[in-house]
């Protein structure tokens, strides 16, 4: 089949959920077709790996070790696919390549220009990925909002793409905002008109307009948008606010999006979201279970997006109502006070000293008071520090990330990391296997001996301390295949106390929740 392209741009304001919209279209079509998702970001970082999550949301890690935009989390969760690093293009990557090519002499004699050199490079990148992947459908998401300086080259490349692939093989979708201002009592279409105008000034006429709104768009409003924006009325659909993002594919289906795609791209479409729908309806229904996520990037909940999603997936399968609270650990004094009404605690991934002592206090409280605990990456490391200090009596134990000169470096930098100077893309990244010990909680949850999760870290449990930690009762329930690195820890005589060096939240999905999260929520439910 010829590859079909669905381009997603956004207008009016950022944060309307272009990634979710695009992933939802993918969820509707993924039964029949091989779909890939490309995301283009305007910033000059090569990847988001060096950004603070409070700036840009969680850094999502792929199987191949790519550190990519968090929208890839939505793509993987909605489409049941493993994305690849080359599917995330950034202006940092683009200019890196252009500069190297220019120095090599690839443009000898020519003035290197935004158009055609940069736009061609972008277009060729998209086309070559689509060809390598033998994609039936490419979801192509352009970051930011139309009119942003930093995304202009992507928009121009997307406009040119039509000439390359042909009118029938490309569909432009634009996500805008239709506000219902307080006291005005009517949805307002002007911002949508203006943003579509910006798009048309750039030579793109949308085939589909999704209006993000608090109440479904009325017929009259759809008509108005259609008239001013030069689209068919049926091609204006509501992207109504929902309490759970997994409802969006169902909303779009009801709004008739499949017919718009079928007519524009001249292809057969059908969806089957029966199982999906049953699970979605199950989220947030049933017995209340209160989970605390304890970390230091609390200014932006998106910092822990995949952890939150993984909890929802378990919620859907266990028929409970997970309520999440975020606890800031910097300056935390009294763990008992903040955990008073909590049924389970997650200490997620993290970096650096700030907030680490607060997390250790929280972990100690969970260990001693038998509160279900799940430590993810840094969470495993700090649980090991806590155990070394308070159970093994190893004075001033710490991670060398926090205190380089600690007396007892129970967590230490990987030998292969010591010489690394560059910060970008140099951690232990991507999927690594682990061998699980039988008769452990972790083994019983995964139901298999060989498992793998995605990693993103520089530090490890120090092999010199394995013996003393183990003789005091810390169970190393999973190790790297060569037996050198600790991948899982747990405690006996505790309802659930588990740490994982990887990030199991990254592979969790609505249809198949991460086993450790499932076990954790179940234990919290049992409290």
The answer to whether residues 459 and 400 touch, using CB atoms and an 8 Å cutoff, is yes
Cβ closest to ligand GLN, residue 74 vs residue 456: 456
CA distances from 480 to 379, 388, 477 (A): 18, 21, 11
The answer to whether residues 85 and 64 touch, using CB atoms and an 8 Å cutoff, is yes
User: What is the residue-wise DSSP string for 4-34?
Assistant: EEEEEEE-SSS-S-HHHHHHHHHHHHTTTS-
In eight-state DSSP terms, residue 70 is T
User: Would you count residue 502 as binding ligand GLN (CB under 6 A)?
Assistant: no
User: Would you count residue 505 as binding ligand GLN (CB under 6 A)?
Assistant: no
The answer to whether residues 109 and 8 touch, using CB atoms and an 8 Å cutoff, is no
User: What is the residue-wise DSSP string for 388-421?
Assistant: HHHTS--TTEEETTT-TT-SEEEEEE-GGGTT--
Binding residues for ligand GLN, total number by CB under 6 A: 10
List the one residue from 18, 456, 494, 507 that touches ligand GLN (CB under 6 A).
Answer: 456
Strand partners, 289: 322
User: Radius of gyration of the chain from Cα atoms?
Assistant: 25
User: What is the residue-wise DSSP string for 174-203?
Assistant: EEEE----TTT-S---HHHHHHHHHHHHTT
Q: Which of residues 389-418 bind ligand GLN (CB under 6 A)?
A: 401
User: Would you count residue 359 as binding ligand GLN (CB under 6 A)?
Assistant: no
The answer to whether residues 140 and 40 touch, using CB atoms and an 8 Å cutoff, is yes
User: Would you count residue 349 as binding ligand GLN (CB under 6 A)?
Assistant: yes
Concerning whether 503 is annotated as a catalytic residue, the answer is: yes
- Provide the minimum distance between the beta carbon of 401 and ligand GLN in the complex, in angstroms, as a whole number: 5
User: Would you count residue 527 as binding ligand GLN (CB under 6 A)?
Assistant: no
List the one residue from 49, 73, 92, 350 that touches ligand GLN (CB under 6 A).
Answer: 350
- Provide the minimum distance between the beta carbon of 305 and ligand GLN in the complex, in angstroms, as a whole number: 14
Active-site option among 377, 386, 455, 490: 377
Cβ closest to ligand GLN, residue 193 vs residue 400: 400
List the one residue from 164, 370, 458, 527 that touches ligand GLN (CB under 6 A).
Answer: 458
List the one residue from 172, 276, 378, 518 that touches ligand GLN (CB under 6 A).
Answer: 378
Cβ closest to ligand GLN, residue 250 vs residue 347: 347
Q: What is the layout of strands, in order, in the sheet containing 397-399?
A: 397-399, 408-413, 459-461
The 154-193 site mask, x for binding ligand GLN (CB under 6 A), equals: ----------------------------------------
- Provide the minimum distance between the beta carbon of 377 and ligand GLN in the complex, in angstroms, as a whole number: 3
Concerning whether 377 is annotated as a catalytic residue, the answer is: yes
Cβ closest to ligand GLN, residue 413 vs residue 469: 413
Could you give phi then psi for residue 354, rounded to 5 degrees?
-55, 130
The 231-270 site mask, x for binding ligand GLN (CB under 6 A), equals: ----------------------------------------
Cβ closest to ligand GLN, residue 378 vs residue 496: 378
The answer to whether residues 478 and 451 touch, using CB atoms and an 8 Å cutoff, is yes
- Provide the minimum distance between the beta carbon of 498 and ligand GLN in the complex, in angstroms, as a whole number: 15
Strand partners, 5: 138, 170
- Provide the minimum distance between the beta carbon of 458 and ligand GLN in the complex, in angstroms, as a whole number: 4
The answer to whether residues 59 and 70 touch, using CB atoms and an 8 Å cutoff, is yes
Q: Site residues (CB under 6 A) for ligand GLN? A: 349-351, 377-378, 401, 456-459
Q: Which residues are catalytic?
A: 377, 503, 505
């Amino acid at each position: 089949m010829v590859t079909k392209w669905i381009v997603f741009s956004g207008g009016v304001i950022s944060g309307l959920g272009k990634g979710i919209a695009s992933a939802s279209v993918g969820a509707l079509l993924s039964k029949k077709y091989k779909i890939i998702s490309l995301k283009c970001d305007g910033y000059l970082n090569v990847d988001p790996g060096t950004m603070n999550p409070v700036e840009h949301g969680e850094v999502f890690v792929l199987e191949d070790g790519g550190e990519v935009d968090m929208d890839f989390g939505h793509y993987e969760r909605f489409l049941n696919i493993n994305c690849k690093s080359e599917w995330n293009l950034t202006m940092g990557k683009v200019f890196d390549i252009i500069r190297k090519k220019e120095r090599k002499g690839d443009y000898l004699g020519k003035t290197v220009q935004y158009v055609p050199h940069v736009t061609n490079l972008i277009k060729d990148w998209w086309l070559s990925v689509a060809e390598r992947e033998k994609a039936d459908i490419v979801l192509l998401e352009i970051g930011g909002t139309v009119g942003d300086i930093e995304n202009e080259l992507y928009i121009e490349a997307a406009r040119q793409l039509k000439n390359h692939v042909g009118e029938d093989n490309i569909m432009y979708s634009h996500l805008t905002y239709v506000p219902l201002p307080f006291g005005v009592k009517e949805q307002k279409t002007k911002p949508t008109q203006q943003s579509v105008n910006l798009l048309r000034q750039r030579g793109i006429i949308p085939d589909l307009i999704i209006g993000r709104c608090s109440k479904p768009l009325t017929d009259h409003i759809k008509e108005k948008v259609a008239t001013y924006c030069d689209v068919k009325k049926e091609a204006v659909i509501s992207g109504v606010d929902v309490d759970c993002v997994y409802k969006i594919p169902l909303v779009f289906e009801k709004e008739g999006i499949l017919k718009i795609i079928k007519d524009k791209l001249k292809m057969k479409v059908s969806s089957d979201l029966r199982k999906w729908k049953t699970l979605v309806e199950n989220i947030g229904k049933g017995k209340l279970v209160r989970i605390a996520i304890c970390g230091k990037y609390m200014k932006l909940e998106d910092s822990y997006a995949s952890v939150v999603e993984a909890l929802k997936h378990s919620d859907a399968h266990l028929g409970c109502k997970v309520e999440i609270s975020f606890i800031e650990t910097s300056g935390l004094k009294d763990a008992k006070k903040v955990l008073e009404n909590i049924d389970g605690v997650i200490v997620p991934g993290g970096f650096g000293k700030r907030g680490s002592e607060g997390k250790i206090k929280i972990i100690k409280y969970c260990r001693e008071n038998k509160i279900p605990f799940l430590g993810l990456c840094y969470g495993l490391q700090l649980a090991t520090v806590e155990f070394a200090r308070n159970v093994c009596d190893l004075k001033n134990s710490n991670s060398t990330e926090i205190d380089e000169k600690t007396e007892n470096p129970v967590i230490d930098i990987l030998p292969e990391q010591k010489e690394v100077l560059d910060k970008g893309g140099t951690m232990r990244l991507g999927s690594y296997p682990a061998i699980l010990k039988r008769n452990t909680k972790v083994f019983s949850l995964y139901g298999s001996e060989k498992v793998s999760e995605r990693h993103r870290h520089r530090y490890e449990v120090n092999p010199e301390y394995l013996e003393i930690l183990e003789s005091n009762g810390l169970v190393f329930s999973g190790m790297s295949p060569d037996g050198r690195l600790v991948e899982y820890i747990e405690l006996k005589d505790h309802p659930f106390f588990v740490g994982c060096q990887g990030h199991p939240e990254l592979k969790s999905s609505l249809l198949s929740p991460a086993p450790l999260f499932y076990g954790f929520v179940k234990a919290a439910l049992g409290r």
